[in-house]
Structure 1
């Protein structure tokens, strides 16, 4: 643990997956304001138009005007060439004056929540979900750590955006719960294996960007879970991405969490 609080994230190379919208987009905006001039943001997503719009927005921001570099990688992380493109662009963007590598594993998909466990008999369907949500996160993290090994003067931070679903079962959300649980264990193991790393599993809470669509489109098969989300949305109990992200940034700046810990926004 650090004994002092950080006022910024340093001159950083920040790699953010799922950066084109929602929580990932908000992370990119917040990090752009907390890194030193000369930092680099590598934004990754499948939606090229949305990524380029965010790139243009950040280039015109105060951070962009004082030297923030924003790179876009349009990639499907469920495919090997997508992962390779992210690593290659990150290596190309690195310079010796950078002192902090930050990898944010945010990209994820909900999966089919309209069905229960007993309906998932298609191995290819399940394998495809796990490839994007678990395998790609593990392999990208491993590749980035190999590309940027431990060396004097270089901090390395790995963040996994997790969920209560990593800890608690939700009926009809078997793919999402399984993916989140497996992914969180990856980063808990990583923290044990690599004591020089700062590893964080951050749960941003119930966000409007995810659950408003579930409530309005009634995708969730289980009526109790569906009603719970609908009620939270109707009563204004869902958090905005900005509220969730502000807490994450404070955790990173304070830098006094136990590496590998699961930190939920409601515990802060």
Structure 2
């Protein structure tokens, strides 16, 4: 089948939308959904979210008929998830035919230390709460809040990484979180075949997180590898990678639960 020209009249929920890849996703989705669609932008930074909201609702940008909601929320806390669902429910209408959830919010964790130094359970639990538990609980809440009915489709995207598949020395928290999240969404795809579930790996992006990786990684070989990518111009822009994600979503030919890397598109 030829790819669709748009993503329908959709409710799009994007976590980590205030900057980086999440911000690029919000911009691209705003151009690919039909009038009457809703974008729910979630992040901790209210000022950045509201600036993006203003940009996306500017009628001169050709996005008339798009409603943009801001949910200032820490997804690592229950009240943050409740705020996202509340904003989504307030904007939802019976004319919407698709729910798209982009689980993008994530943190790198402390990459300045090796595995044997992580003796504090509270520290590890805090990381996993933000990077694993929040994605599971938000996804479950979205599916419960907007259950399948005639014509309503669901697409769930997990922004993953090569680190879900391959170990990186001194990146134990990040690799563990990404691996757990990926398996979580593979299980969801098996349990609910009517959903469209995608694990999308955006590749090495030129973001603040990448800068943190280059400056703080404890393992010298990993640190040099990331620094060399920057020096050689091998990092991708968020916009380049996001365009590949939109292509995958429009073509809709992936196997539900699949891991698709930016370089495979």
Aligned partner of 2:177 in structure 1 is 179
Residue number among 212, 221, 227 corresponding to 1:224 in the alignment? 221
CA distance in 2, matches of 1:99, 1:69: 15
Is 1:266 paired with 2:263?
Answer: yes
Q: Could you say which residue in structure 1 is the equivalent of 2:152?
A: 154
Any gaps of 5 or more consecutive residues in structure 2? none
For 1:116-156, what per-residue CA distance to the aligned partner results, in whole angstroms no more than 9, with x for missing partners? 00000000000000000000100000000011111111111
Please give the residue correspondences for 1:77-116 in structure 2 after superposition, counting only pairs within 5 Å: 77-116=75-114
- Of 31, 34, 37 in structure 1, the residue corresponding to residue 29 of structure 2 is 31
User: How many angstroms apart in 2 are the aligned matches of 1:73 and 1:64?
Assistant: 23
Matches within 5 A, 1:58-207: 58-60=56-58, 62=60, 65-207=63-205
Root-mean-square deviation (CA, aligned residues, Å) is 1.0
Taking the aligned partners of 1:50 and 1:64, their CA distance within structure 2 comes to 21
Q: Distance in 1 between matches of 2:113 and 2:33?
A: 43
- Report 1:34-45 matches (<5 A): 34-45=32-43
- Alignment partner of 1:43: what SS? strand
- Aligned-partner SS, 1:98: coil
Would the alpha carbon gap of residues 180 and 236 (structure 1) be closer, same or farther in structure 2, given more than 3 Å must change? same
Instruction: Give distance in 2, aligned partners of 1:244 and 1:214.
Output: 19
Following the alignment from structure 2 to structure 1, what is the Cα–Cα distance between the partners of residues 55 and 212? 25
Query: What stretches of structure 1 of length at least 5 have no aligned partner?
Result: none
Q: Which residue of 2 aligns with 1:236?
A: 233
- Alpha-carbon deviations, 1:9-52, whole Å to 9, x = none? 00000000000000000000000000001110000000111101
- Is this contact kept in 2: 1:32–1:63, CA < 8 A? no
TM-score by length of 1: 0.96
Q: CA deviation at 1:61?
A: 5.1
Contact 1:105 1:161 (8 Å CA) reproduced = yes
- Partner of residue 214, structure 1: 213
Q: Which residue of 2 aligns with 1:15?
A: 13
Contact 1:162 1:202 in 2 (8 A): yes
SS in 2 for 1:208: coil
Contact in 2 for aligned 1:33/1:63 (Cα 8 Å)? no
Q: Which ranges of 4 or more aligned residues in structure 1 deviate by more than 4 Å?
A: 61-65
Matched-pair contact (CA < 8 Å) for 1:212–1:233: no
1:212, CA displacement in angstroms? Answer: 3.1
